[in-house]
Amino acid sequence: MKKIVLSFFLIAIIATSLFAKDESVDLASQVAETSLTYNLYRKIDDSFTLIGDGETYIVDNLNPLSGNTMITDFTIRVDSNLNSSRTVSVKVTPESFKTILNGDQIYDSGRTPVINTIINKKTVEAGINKNREVYRFNIFVVGKRNLPAGRYISNVDVEYIIE
The reply to whether the predicted model has a pTM over 0.75 is yes
Whether residue 112 lies inside any domain: the answer is: yes
| pLDDT at residue 158 in the model | 93
Q: Measured between alpha carbons, how far is residue 125 from residues 79, 96, 114, 162 in Å?
A: 11, 36, 29, 11
Q: Does 130 map to a domain?
A: yes
Residue 38 in any domain: the answer is yes
Domains in the chain, number: 1
- Per-residue b/e over 105-129, b at no fewer than 16 CB within 10 Å? eeeebebbbebeeeeeeeebeeeeb
pLDDT at 15 over 70: no
Residue 163 CA to residue 158 CA, distance in Å, equals 16
Q: Is residue 126 part of a domain?
A: yes
64 CB-near residues (< 8 Å, 6+ apart) = 143
Residue 23 has pLDDT above 90, yes or no: no
Q: Note the pLDDT of residue 13.
A: 66
Query: Whole-angstrom Cα distance, residue 160 to residue 163?
Result: 10
> In whole angstroms, how far apart are CA 140 and each of 57, 83, 114, 116?
17, 38, 5, 7
CB 65 within 8 A of CB 143: yes
Contacts of 76 by beta carbon, 8 Å cutoff, 6+ apart: 38, 39, 40, 41, 88, 90, 133, 134, 135, 136, 158, 160
- Give dist(CA 97, CA 139) in Å, integer: 13
Local confidence band at 53 (pLDDT 50, 70, 90 cut-offs): confident
114 is a domain residue: yes
Give domain status of residue 128, yes or no: yes
89 in a structural domain: yes
In which domain, by residue range, is 67 found? Answer: 28-162
- 22 lies in a domain? no
Q: What number of CA atoms fall less than 13 Å from residue 67's CA on the CB side?
A: 7
Mean pLDDT value across the chain = 88
Per-residue DSSP letter, 16? H
